Amino acid sequence: MEIIKKGEKIQYLNIIKAVSIFLVVFCHLVILKYDGIIDNICMLVCWLAVPCFVLVNGAILLNKKLDIKKHYQKTCIIYIVNIAWRILYLLIYILCLNFDIQSVSKVDILKYIFLFQNLTPINVSHFYFIEIILSIYLIFPIIHICFNGNADGRKALFMMTIIIFLFTYFINAVSFLGEYVIEDKRISIEGLSNVFLFGKYARFLLLFILGGFLHLYKDRIQSIKGITFICILTIIISLGMLVLSKYLMYGTFEWRGIYIQGGYDKISTFAMSVAFFIVMQNRIIKNKMFSKIIEEIGTSTLGIFYLHIPILVILNQYVYNMIAYKGVIMNLLKTIIVIIVSYMIIRILRKIPILKKLVS
């Protein structure tokens, strides 16, 4: 089995991470046309970002040697860094956005800082990604031992991914068909989830394990005749299904400020994300400057993840009202600016020993 060495950078994984963080920034606090159809399609593409991050995480960690002590130390650091950023967000809202801390109780503040609770109006909705990572990392050593132990361990994990798929994406698909296509809510098998052990982030555990398998069998997957064409076709069909899902749920093909409910629960999101991951496996960037840019963004995704919302919130408060034009191009420009500003801040923080952990 090929093991990813410590510090080794794999270009296709960095490309996926760079594209994913771009989509994450693109879809938050948007400057889009309310009635834009292209705007709507672009926003639906963004649903593949978080699944791809989890796929990459699994690809790296499951194909690396495991030091259990260091792993749980890293898990604790992720939690501590999460606490630090929650405090920083609180300070930013107090100092820059006139948040009155006296309007909330001390208990709510403590729950917000330490127990993953939201605190209105502080925008930490994207922090669910940290909850996903922590929930997976807590049981990761068991998964790693099964994945790297022997063939039986990998078979058991593969069977577990199928079971998780059935209890998440399949059950959701049946319920969706019943409610929005056949228009009969009685057609639902959600009761089956009562015998399912894993919680609300089960589908991300599936993606994490699947990422390990996709990287492990990368050469075998890429040897399949026409695999790139099949995956590109899958992406197009899956995106079309998401467009149709939004129409069935909300009666519109336009953006209208609507984030499709349960986007991560849909088979189309799963298929689109996995297909994109596979397409990227053979991508090589030969241009040295562009390759370096992708590498820098790809290795700075955690810092950009934490920094982009405060930057966007401040822009929304003081700049957005001055912008006359709204649309995909303006939102692309916003995304590029926020990533550049975030990266510049990251470069500064990396030079300060006590603060570099905040962005790495």
Range of the domain at 248: 11-359
Q: Which of 244, 355, 297 is nearest to 13 (CA)?
A: 297
pLDDT of residue 160: 93
CA dihedral 255, 229, 154, 190 (to 10 degrees): 40
pLDDT of residue 172: 87
pLDDT of residue 27: 97
Structure tokens at 28: 């938050």
For the four alpha carbons of 79, 82, 84 and 90, in that order, the dihedral sign comes to: negative
**Residue 65 included in any domain:** yes
pLDDT of residue 178: 85
Distance CA 147, CA 113 (A): 35
Each residue's pLDDT tens digit, 286-301: 899 999 999 999 999 9
**Residue 4 included in any domain:** no
Structure tokens at 38: 């292209």
Structure tokens at 258: 């609507």
**Residue 3 included in any domain:** no
Q: What is the pTM of this model?
A: 0.94
- As beta bridge partners, residue 104 has none
Check: CB of residue 297 under 8 Å from CB of residue 18: yes
Mean pLDDT, the chain cut into blocks of 10 residues (360 residues total): 65 96 98 97 98 98 95 97 97 93 95 96 96 97 94 92 92 86 74 75 96 96 96 98 97 96 95 98 90 94 97 94 93 97 97 91
**Residue 1 included in any domain:** no
pLDDT of residue 236: 98
Distance CA 92, CA 317 (A): 12
**Residue 182 included in any domain:** yes
Structure tokens at 206: 């599936």
pLDDT of residue 7: 56
**Residue 106 included in any domain:** yes
**Residue 2 included in any domain:** no
Domain total for the chain?
A: 1
**Residue 5 included in any domain:** no
